[in-house]
Amino acid sequence: MLNLVLAAMLQASVLSAEPLSYDEAFEASQAEGKPLVVLVGADWCGACRVMKNSALPQVAKDGVFQEVAFTMVDTDKDQALAKQVMDPGSIPQLIMYHKTADGWRRSKLVGSQSPTSIISFLRRGIQTAAEIVK
């Protein structure tokens, strides 16, 4: 019974974990050498809400967010930052940055994504970042 209670508490803490602010995520990426992952979206965007409220909590259960510095940027609340990190066009955009000797390498997913595709995207990026460091 205690194991069930502890598992429920752990799951609740994983699902309710707030992403870092952009500045905190950027600093963590720099300090820890982790890829910087940014979800760019808006509250009015249905696909963004699905990503934020359904797909990402399922991804969090996988533990992959512990291997990246993750943040969210709202296109309405922080227009300047959103324009700086995303490509013009559709949202949501899940963008991953890897620091290299030549600057930042960038990859992205556009549109609503399944938890499986997000995990695969993140794992490929983590692997790429590890290879860059070698």
Q: What is the pLDDT of residues 68-89, one digit of tens each?
A: 999 999 999 999 999 999 999 8
Q: What is the pLDDT of residues 42-72, one digit of tens each?
A: 999 999 999 999 999 999 999 999 999 999 9
What is the percent of the chain with per-residue pLDDT over 70, rounded to a whole number?
A: 84
pTM of the model: 0.82
Q: Are 73 and 39 in contact (CB under 8 A)?
A: yes
In DSSP notation, 53-103 reads IIIHHHHHHHTGGGGSEEEEEETTT-HHHHHHHS-SS-S-EEEEEEEETTE
Dist. CA 33–CA 55, nearest whole Å: 25
- Determine phi and psi for 96, rounding to 5 degrees: -120, 130
Dist. CA 41–CA 14, nearest whole Å: 21
> Out of 3.40.30.10, 2.40.50.140, 3.30.70.1890, 3.40.190.10, which CATH number does the structure's domain 19-133 have?
3.40.30.10
Give 50: exposed, middle or buried? Use CB within 10 Å, 0-12, 13-18, 19+: middle
